[in-house]
Amino acid sequence: MKTISTYDDKNILVFGLAKSGFSAALLLQKLGANVFVTDGNKEQDPEMLKELDDLNIKYLLGNQDKSMLQTYKIDAIVKNPGVPYSNPVLVAALEDNILVISEPELAYQIMDAELIGITGSNGKTTVTTMINLLLNDGGFTSHLAGNIGIPATRVAQQAAKGEIVTMELSSFMLAGIDKLHPHIAVVNNIFSNHLDWHGTRDNYVRDKMRITENQTSNDFLVMNWDNPEWQELSTKSKAKVIPFSRKGLSHDGSYLENGKIFFKNEFVMDADKIGVPGDQNVENALAAIAVAKIKNVNNEVIKKVLSSFTGVNHRIQFVSKVNNRIFYNDSKATDIEATEVALQAFDSPIILIAGGLDRGDDYSRLASSMRNVKEIIVNGQTSDKMAKMATDAGIKEVKFSDKVADSVLTAFKDSTDGDIILLSPAAASWDQYKNFEVRGDEFIEVVNNLKDKVVD
């Protein structure tokens, strides 16, 4: 890692604990800062708190007040990505011209390795994982980091010069960057997500595109070319644009044509050899292939890696086959577009388990993707909205349940030979679960219990 003096003897507030905040606090102390940690949630990992105590890092849990800025004479804040800028403490900090950055920005400031950054409304975890596998099999040393669940500040300290950090970057993270500069940036797609956090779609798009704001003509922007808006957004980048297109709209990068994947007119592989189903995963593979080809990974490695790729946890993840019913966990589908992708991945009859936090979305948009859905089981705050959408779409079996576990049992009871039982909520999990992982794990646990009880 680079040695920097930026934070030496500065009073730095880590706003929000969890894994990334904890990692940031430890790094800041190593960089000579006087570190203070705050989190609105009093319930924290006791071992984490003990380590903070052992290191004499002060922390305040529970009530957060802007007076802490003056009490501790705060010079800068490293913010948890999920905390909105409307938080009163952050509003006061910005009014006082206190620098507020995200944890990946802090990581970049000490990073010796090359950075590849990936963002997008949907598919970014899959693309990040694919790229990491392609690079490691292609002769590089690549480290996963960021929104994929691995603190960037931890990885930045481990990754050496000549290595690569392949980092998934959410819009929340990108909203808090300053110097972060990927050599290769990937924008997988941009829809309309997290508007409760960003306020407007324009704000959301602006934060997504911050991934390229520090790039130069020596860098690359890998951009989805299948939407005129995204093509237009790419013109604002100084980087060399490498398009990818499932519709074959450009041959200047990776593209799909007649079921085959090419890069700049060179055949790479057949699309149906990709190890995960659905058009979205072809699109994800196109983005990953573009990065691999920029780094000169050969086609044999690309074919080997992508044909054996089985997906990531909670994203159209195959769980099990029980009595010829096939269960898929897509708990990471926290918006309508992600669930549309999942529904389009299957041709067999589907029993859909959906619902969650109500963020004001118009679920009638989901109706056109319900052609293979024979039954929907809804839970959570959006239950009534989703039930109405399904009824309007002509689905005859619409049922309500308390939680995902109950939905699985109902779905199995109602299913017949060859059905797909799909958890794809089209909503965030926070009304009932700590996060989408907990929701998906509940689905997996109940399915595995069913498998233990049922003899195929």
The pLDDT assigned to 200 comes to 84
Q: What is the pTM assigned to this prediction?
A: 0.80
* Interacting residues of 189 by C-beta distance below 8 A, sequence separation 6+: 120, 121, 122, 123, 224, 227, 230, 283
**pLDDT value at residue 453:** 78
Residue 128 assigned as binding residue: no
Distance CA 362, CA 384 (A): 12
CB 221 within 8 A of CB 294: no
Is 188 labelled as part of a ligand binding site? Answer: no
What is the separation of C-alpha 357 from the centre of its chain, rounded to a whole number of angstroms? 18
124 is in an annotated binding site: yes
Known binding residue 364? Answer is no
* 192 annotated binding-site participant: no
Q: Confirm or deny that 407 is annotated as ligand binding.
A: no
Q: Which of 192, 155, 219 is nearest to 211 (CA)?
A: 219
User: Which of 126, 195, 82, 83 has its CA nearest to residue 333?
Assistant: 126
- Alpha-carbon gap, residue 201 to 83, rounded angstroms: 18
The response to whether 120 counts as a known ligand-binding position is: yes
One digit per residue, the tens of pLDDT, for the chain of length 456 reads 999 999 999 999 999 998 999 999 999 999 999 999 999 989 888 999 999 999 999 999 998 899 999 999 999 999 988 888 889 999 999 999 999 999 999 999 999 999 999 999 888 999 999 999 999 999 999 999 999 889 999 999 999 999 999 999 999 999 999 999 999 999 999 986 555 655 688 999 999 999 999 999 999 999 999 999 999 999 999 999 999 999 999 999 999 999 999 999 999 999 999 998 889 899 999 999 999 999 999 999 999 999 999 888 888 888 999 999 999 999 999 989 889 989 988 989 999 999 999 988 899 999 999 999 999 999 999 999 999 999 999 999 999 999 999 999 999 999 999 999 999 999 999 999 999 999 999 999 999 999 887 755
81: tokens are: 């990505």
Between CA 442 and CA 73 the distance in angstroms is 44
Q: Walk me through the domains of the chain, giving residue ranges and CATH numbers.
A: 11-97 (3.40.50.720), 105-308 (3.40.1190.10), 317-453 (3.90.190.20)
Q: Measured between alpha carbons, how far is residue 232 from residues 47, 226, 288 in Å? A: 49, 11, 21
